[in-house]
Chain A
């Protein structure tokens, strides 16, 4: 079945270092969303990408959607302790936009 994998599963960085998480789908995605979940909290929407090759920025966060629309990345420049949490990508399952499947997530720990 369709799978959405993320790497790495865990990442520890020193505050100020950059961080990147990658999302890979076994099938083409019509769109991809990114969510952040703080420890003990619930997922919160960050952004949605729709177009092939699309790049969007939110302050220190840069999101990319691959040309083939099968992969995506989230890059954080100069991490801060407020960036701690788990980052998920999510996309619609093939055959219907009603079902949204989430990636396995990347847990980011920032060491002050």
Chain B
């Protein structure tokens, strides 16, 4: 099993550009989440999904869109990148409500 994979590992964008961060898992997990990590602020939940076709907002959803067309994939879209979105983005998955989360290796995004 590859676990949770994320692409790309690094990305530099200009303000106003859009892009999609990819996340995939091969563990057949129901739950998937996107977090962003900024210094001194821990991990903040952006969006999450409890199954294919079902998504909801987390703590900091503004500026991001998600969709979940399959169990395996959970892409995160930045609609119009802003410098405030410079961060490390982690995707995570888990089997059920109370289970441990498995994290991907992260995407380091810089917006100029």
**Interface of A toward B, CB cutoff 8 Å:** 6, 9, 31, 33, 35, 41-45, 48, 50, 88, 90, 92, 97-105
Choose from B58, B92, B97, B105 the contact partner of A97 (Cβ within 8 Å).
Answer: B97
How far is A41 from B105 in the complex, measured between Cα atoms in Å? Answer: 7
Query: Nearest A residue to B54 by beta-carbon distance?
Result: A98
* Known contacts A42-B106, A98-B31; is-contact A88 B43 (Cβ 8 Å): yes
Q: Are B102 and A9 in contact (CB under 8 A)?
A: no
Q: Are B100 and A48 in contact (CB under 8 A)?
A: yes
Choose from B42, B97, B100, B104 the contact partner of A98 (Cβ within 8 Å).
Answer: B97
5 example contacts (A-B, Cβ-Cβ < 8 A) are as follows A31-B98, A35-B101, A45-B102, A99-B45, A99-B48
6 shortest interchain CB distances as A-B pairs: A45-B100, A102-B43, A97-B97, A42-B103, A104-B42, A102-B42
Choose from A35, A45, A99 the contact partner of B58 (Cβ within 8 Å).
Answer: A99
Residue interface mask B39-52, A partner, CB < 8 A = 1: 01111110010100
- Chain A: minimal CB distance from B93 (Å): 12
- Chain B: minimal CB distance from A38 (Å): 12
Q: Are A9 and B43 in contact (CB under 8 A)?
A: no
Q: Are B48 and A98 in contact (CB under 8 A)?
A: yes
Q: Are B43 and A97 in contact (CB under 8 A)?
A: no
> What would 12 more interface pairs be, CB under 8 Å, given A43-B43, A103-B42, A104-B42?
A9-B40, A35-B101, A41-B105, A42-B90, A42-B103, A45-B101, A48-B98, A92-B97, A98-B50, A98-B56, A101-B59, A102-B43
For B104, list chain A residues within 8 Å (CB): 42
